[in-house]
Structure 1
Amino acid sequence: MVKRALGTLACLTALAAVAWSPSALSQDFKSPIKLLVPFPPGGSTDALARLMAPSLSKALGHNIIVENRPGASGQIAATLLKNAPADGSTFLLAPDHVGVMVPLIMPTAGYDTLRDLLPIGQAATYPIAMSVSNSTEARTLEEYLAYVKREPAKANFGVPVVGGAFELVGYKFGSAAKVKMTAVPYNGSAPMMTDMMAGSISSGVMGLPDGIEQHRAGKIRTIAVTGDKRSSILPDVPTFQEMGFEGLNVMSWHAFFAPKALPRPLAEKFNQAIATALQDADVRKRIAEMALEVAPTSLDEASRIIADGVAFWKPLMAAGGGTK
């Protein structure tokens, strides 16, 4: 009996060694990987996702499929991610509006970023821009201000999402200029841009990357950007701050997220894949052309950025800062 017991123990020990070996514990992604984008095709988030997807696929060894799931200011995509299996099969690329502000301004958002999502890594940062329709004939912030004072019925600005930093910038501009501005929310920057080019709205407040190509093509005019310094992409465009509009130096970002329970090893692998993709010379060049600044972070830094963003915006949103 003793020999039999010892034999059984040896067998169990061997099985345990196999079960706890590094190879047995190694975790991998479920292929193909879905990369959710919370807006329609045509905007900067979609463009960045499609630009980085091939490099991420190469770094991870798995095919990545970009899937647009627009609607409700990003709530649809974020909620899909929250409810997705935490097995490395689904990720989200989203701007700070979706990652921070939506749950703060919409109690029924269906997700709480700190509770339900796992920040995987930041990819890029960018300023917020105010651009005007050519129908205004304004070429500067002063000229646009004079225009809306002459035409108060046209004192409106489109925003690609409801509430948040874009509305905050538009309303703060109007308040400082003593002009009543009206926000016109859209489901993404692409339809907003269409209306601005058609003259249906006189201006738009969006991420600089969303309007850079239209500005370069002369279809709209970008007249001011947020931040402490001018964008290196548009050095001739002044900041709100240098034009005397204080408190408009906020910056935005794009970051990757996963379901909250994603195992740490998979999260670290994806974070490293982001860093690897952003080291590619062609990717960096194209990101710069999109008016984005490459800004990768570690896994822990990404979490701190989200927590700091929530701490900064929560009191402003509670006071109605992003909705007038």
Structure 2
Amino acid sequence: MHILMRMLVAFAISATVSTAASAAEYSGPIRIVVPFAAGGATDALARLLAPGLAKELGHTVVVENRPGASGQIGTAFVKNAPADGSTYLLALDHSVVIVPLITPSAGYDALRDFAPLGTVARFQWVLSLPTNSPATTLQQFMDIAKKDASKRNYGVPLMGGMPDLIGNSVGSKAGVAMEAIPFNGSAQMMPQLIGGQLASGVTGSPEAVTMSRAKKVRLLAVTGDKRSLLLPDVPTFAEGGVPGLNLNSFNAFFAPKNLPAAIAEKFNAALRKTLADPDVRKQVSDMSLDIVESSSISEAKAELERSYRFWNSTAAAKR
């Protein structure tokens, strides 16, 4: 019995050392995959954080855009990547949680296939109009949509989730069927909205604030249970007569599910240190994002699970 116990202990120690050694063996560049086109808020956030992560992790960090299918392509790529610390995903809760719930062929599951490594920032969603639109309030926009079928479309940077929920809720309140026009990210959508080819568009607050400050779009309403501190003059959807849109979204880092715990903790520590840098905090704030400086792995996991429960219930109700 004593011999057997010694053998088991020796095997456990050997496995631990082997895992640690294999974790230390990886020495190539680290890849941060953004599942959206270059130029959007998630891409800008990844490029802002990459230098700090590179410094803390001691690796070259490269941002790689893999857009398509509402974030599905890049997210699935990371799910199938080696769990060795070489590849990470910076994505919205949307592409990780919602897409596989509404598109079973996506081939991945938020809880089964990914290891959450830390929440980076949260943001609100905004409904915007071209500046040449006659509507200046949400009610006016709904009144126009009732009378003119050509005004019943809304551009979305991704399919499903809050963008679609916003369009469906506005259409339901107006008593008309709104049509979602999908794009691969806000960077592709905004020129069409600014140019008036779209009647309206849904974006995250970073893009909305930037375009509004440049007077290129008109903002009608924001999600959440209170107004944005960055957009104090823009009412919430509830204030505009469309309830039920009090949810916001978040950006977070993920890795393939079986990433060793030691590598996960090292990445989380590097992320937290990077986000604590005053210059990084200012730049994230300037991007109209609500930075999360101290998200532990357990906290990131809890946030992912909350999002999954909500959207799984919502998706189930629609099936």
With the length of structure 1 as denominator, give the TM-score of the two structures: 0.89
Aligned counterpart for 2:259 among listed residues 262, 273, 291:
262
Deviations 1:96-146 (A, max 9, x none): 111210110001002112111111110000011111112313222233223
Which letter maps to 2:35? P
Which letter maps to 1:188? G
* Whole-Å separation in 1 of the counterparts to 2:211 and 2:240: 23
The equivalent residue for 2:196 is 199
1:319 CA displacement: 2.5
1:238 and 2:227 are equivalent in the alignment: no
The equivalent residue for 2:107 is 110
Which letter maps to 2:114? L
Relative distance call for 1:104 and 1:269 in structure 2 (3 A) is same
Whether the 8 Å CA contact 1:36–1:66 is kept in 2: the answer is: yes
The equivalent residue for 2:60 is 63
* Whole-Å separation in 2 of the counterparts to 1:172 and 1:247: 8
Aligned counterpart for 2:50 among listed residues 46, 49, 53:
53
* Whole-Å separation in 2 of the counterparts to 1:208 and 1:256: 20
Whether the 8 Å CA contact 2:33–2:74 is kept in 1: the answer is: yes
Whether the 8 Å CA contact 2:192–2:198 is kept in 1: the answer is: yes
* Whole-Å separation in 2 of the counterparts to 1:20 and 1:175: 59
Which letter maps to 1:202? A
Deviations 1:9-54 (A, max 9, x none): xxxx9xx89x959986873654310000001111111010011111
With the length of structure 2 as denominator, give the TM-score of the two structures: 0.90
Aligned counterpart for 1:298 among listed residues 285, 289, 296:
296
Q: Which runs of 5+ in 2 are unaligned?
A: 1-9
Secondary structure, aligned partner of 1:135: coil
* Whole-Å separation in 1 of the counterparts to 2:258 and 2:17: 21
Whether the 8 Å CA contact 1:136–1:147 is kept in 2: the answer is: no
Secondary structure, aligned partner of 1:130: strand
Secondary structure, aligned partner of 2:154: strand
Deviations 1:44-94 (A, max 9, x none): 110100111111111212111000011111111111111111110000100
1:36 and 2:33 are equivalent in the alignment: yes
Secondary structure, aligned partner of 1:27: helix
Q: Which runs of 5+ in 1 are unaligned?
A: 1-12
1:184 CA displacement: 1.0
* Whole-Å separation in 2 of the counterparts to 1:213 and 1:277: 24
Whether the 8 Å CA contact 2:118–2:252 is kept in 1: the answer is: yes
1:78 and 2:75 are equivalent in the alignment: yes
Relative distance call for 1:68 and 1:21 in structure 2 (3 A) is closer
1:121 and 2:115 are equivalent in the alignment: no
1:306 CA displacement: 1.3
Deviations 1:162-215 (A, max 9, x none): 112210111112212323211111111111111111111111112111222111
1:164 and 2:161 are equivalent in the alignment: yes
Farther off after superposition, 157-166 or 28-37: 28-37
| Large movers: runs of 4+ above 4 Å | 19-26
Whether the 8 Å CA contact 2:34–2:90 is kept in 1: the answer is: yes
Within 5 A, what are the aligned runs for 1:177-196?
177-196=174-193
Aligned counterpart for 1:274 among listed residues 268, 271, 274:
271
* Whole-Å separation in 2 of the counterparts to 1:47 and 1:229: 26
Which letter maps to 2:249? S
Whether the 8 Å CA contact 1:36–1:68 is kept in 2: the answer is: yes
Whether the 8 Å CA contact 1:45–1:254 is kept in 2: the answer is: yes
Whether the 8 Å CA contact 2:23–2:260 is kept in 1: the answer is: no
Secondary structure, aligned partner of 1:108: helix
The equivalent residue for 1:8 is none
Relative distance call for 1:269 and 1:222 in structure 2 (3 A) is same
CA RMSD of aligned residues (A): 2.1
Whether the 8 Å CA contact 1:31–1:89 is kept in 2: the answer is: yes
* Whole-Å separation in 1 of the counterparts to 2:199 and 2:21: 60
* Whole-Å separation in 1 of the counterparts to 2:149 and 2:279: 46
Aligned length: 306
